[in-house]
Structure 1
Amino acid sequence: MKGLVTALLLSVSMTVFSQTNFQGKAIYQSKTAIDPSFGGRQLSEERKKQILQRMKSMLEKTYVLNFTRSKSIYKEEEKLETPGASRGFRFGGFAGGGTVYKDFKVGKILESTEFFGKKFLISENKELPKWELGEETKQIGNYTCFKATMVKKATGFDWRNLRRRERDSKVKRDTSTVKKETENLEAPKETLVTAWYTPQVPISSGPGSYWGLPGLILEVNEGRTTILCSEIIMNPSEKIEIKEPVKGKKITREAYNKVVKEKMEEMRERFRNRRGGNREGRGFH
């Protein structure tokens, strides 16, 4: 029954969007929940609220996915900053504002991002993601969505899903332990990803690096992060032009993850030796 409904929706959608000028725009809101135990007993509730407020610009963002029948590009919405306003809290110069480009015809996926002031152009694995299609459905706006899940292996350093090691719960926390806690944080080795896609918009794309489903992905849940589509604009009056990103050092995803890991290890070592000599980082060359 599920397959029949999906086939019917896809058939209707392909008929509706069969015109050659098929294009559209999807607006997504991204939110990440912070572990309520962060900071332990060393931080007051008031101080935690202040930190969360400073992190708001990093945890809550708006993205735009422009798409045609064969290509899509996903990037953070550009906003004018209020004069005198803070640029938001950043974790030691981490990457921000990455752009993900997909060309479905040739199977090309590129991410243009910045890490510690250096630009990278990352090529992704072209293999079709191993989604498991479910029977559950739900309505998102005017669109009927189907559930799909997959287990994603952790790659690189993702601060959004950091968690405290189990053994750390047995350590007595005092003022000196607060600094050590950063060394006891780890990312899960695997994360369950849940996506909701609609065949009513027949393109195999979605937010970020997600794709490979028989319809546009309108919602993704990964760890503590949720990305939800708030608006879809089909065939806008202004023509959409999707250009492949070209700026940045060309690198594979595996090599980029290695760069991130090495930099994080360097930061951790500097932190450990802060009192001993405040050693400088090597930076990029």
Structure 2
Amino acid sequence: MTTITRVLILILIGAVSSINAQDFQGVATYKTHRDFDIKMDSTKMNDAMQKQMMEMMKKQFQKTYLLTFDRSSSVYKQEVELDKPQIGGGFQMSLGNSGSDVFYKNIKDQSYIDQKETMGKKFLIKDSIAPIEWQLQSNTKHIGEYMCFKATYTKQVPKVNLNFNSKPDIEDENEEEKEPEMEERIITAWYTPQIPVSNGPAKYQGLPGLILEIHDGKLTVICSKIVINPQEKLEIEEPTKGKEVSQKEYDDIMEKKTKEMMERYAPSRGSKDGAIHISIGG
């Protein structure tokens, strides 16, 4: 038996003995941040406007979520926040999840329900939880009062590069769509066996303890607060609002809508005025 396995077993025994198995519930608060690259080519946008846009972009990618969980299920939802600031001309930036989005996971049944509001429409995405092939590491660190262990896995993801500077040629539109260029990414998680639930923020799960920190490309998710067995009993309910679709059906809809939007807002061919290049990591 390896050293890490022995340590995990000891921590799990201690955690289970100290938590009431019948009433075990909790709420974990997570702070998220996503890095981004932005190039502003417009000669009409002065330094003050560029700085204002950068600050607004940063705020868009800084969010707070609550994970309400028990041993078999959870609800992950963004905290209610004030309306996002607008750039001059009334253009509102909306690059993250809607505040009404709800992500429900049932670890026991290995299923999830993702309630999303996108482009003014509500969707109810129902699908199975994809297994994650975690590699447990021996590295440890403390997050708050909790001893955490490191785990990683590797996945293939498409390269993302949003370029609003060019409009596709007509001949290119008639060509068969090319497969997206892929790249390899290593996702790192830190989990604590002291909270013995195989759960975590968003779709991250499958480790022998609650996930408290995630590094996935340019996305960082860190737990800032945990309340175990609060005085008032927590209600973990499945979301029910929206058009019911599978994950693939939703992805196809979003891909189509994104292409339509990029074609609509792309400047005329050969024009470089007002161009903004945005590259957002996964």
What is the match of residue 248 of structure 1?
242
Distance 1:189 1:266, change over 3 A: farther
Q: How does 1:105-254 map to 2 (within 5 A)?
A: 105-154=108-157, 162-163=160-161, 179-180=165-166, 189-254=183-248
User: Is the strand fraction higher in 1 or 2?
Assistant: 2
Matched-pair contact (CA < 8 Å) for 1:196–1:217: yes
Distance 1:197 1:40, change over 3 A: farther
What is the match of residue 55 of structure 1?
57
Structure 1 alignment gaps of length 5 or more: 156-160, 165-176, 276-285
Q: Deviations over 1:16-46 (max 9, x none)?
A: 12431111110000011222x5325856554
- The SS at the match of 2:10 is helix
Matched-pair contact (CA < 8 Å) for 1:30–1:60: yes
**Residue 38 (structure 1) aligned with residue 39 (structure 2):** yes
Distance 2:94 2:147 in 1: 41
Matched-pair contact (CA < 8 Å) for 2:167–2:268: no
Distance 1:228 1:12, change over 3 A: same
Matched-pair contact (CA < 8 Å) for 1:162–1:188: no
What is the match of residue 10 of structure 2?
8
User: Is the helix fraction higher in 1 or 2?
Assistant: 1
Q: How does 1:57-76 map to 2 (within 5 A)?
A: 57-76=59-78
> Which amino acid letter does the alignment assign opposite residue 103 of structure 1?
N
Distance 1:230 1:55, change over 3 A: same
Distance 1:53 1:77 in 2: 20
Distance 1:18 1:255 in 2: 41
Q: How does 1:91-110 map to 2 (within 5 A)?
A: 91=93, 95-97=97-99, 98-110=101-113
Distance 1:126 1:76 in 2: 20
Distance 1:27 1:94, change over 3 A: closer
Matched-pair contact (CA < 8 Å) for 1:94–1:116: no
Matched-pair contact (CA < 8 Å) for 1:100–1:208: yes
Distance 2:47 2:131 in 1: 45
> Which amino acid letter does the alignment assign opposite residue 160 of structure 2?
L
Distance 1:74 1:178 in 2: 32
1:188 deviation in Å? 5.2
1:73 deviation in Å? 0.5
Q: Deviations over 1:102-133 (max 9, x none)?
A: 11222221111111111111123334211111
Q: Structure 2 length normalisation: TM-score?
A: 0.79
Matched-pair contact (CA < 8 Å) for 1:93–1:117: no
Which is worse superposed, 126-135 or 1-10? 126-135
Matched-pair contact (CA < 8 Å) for 1:27–1:231: yes
**Residue 271 (structure 1) aligned with residue 281 (structure 2):** no
State the Cα RMSD in Å. Answer: 3.0
> Which amino acid letter does the alignment assign opposite residue 226 of structure 1?
T
Q: Deviations over 1:139-186 (max 9, x none)?
A: 11111111111123437xxxxx7348xxxxxxxxxxxx9722999xx8
Which one scores higher on RCO, CA 8 angstroms, separation ≥ 6?
Answer: 2
1:269 deviation in Å? 2.2
1:63 deviation in Å? 0.4
Matched-pair contact (CA < 8 Å) for 1:93–1:115: no
- The SS at the match of 1:124 is strand
Distance 1:77 1:178, change over 3 A: closer
What is the match of residue 258 of structure 1?
252
Tell me how many residue pairs correspond in the alignment. Answer: 253
State, as a whole percentage, how many aligned pairs show the same letter.
37
- The SS at the match of 2:165 is helix
Which is worse superposed, 13-22 or 137-146? 13-22
Distance 1:153 1:44 in 2: 38
1:12 deviation in Å? 1.1
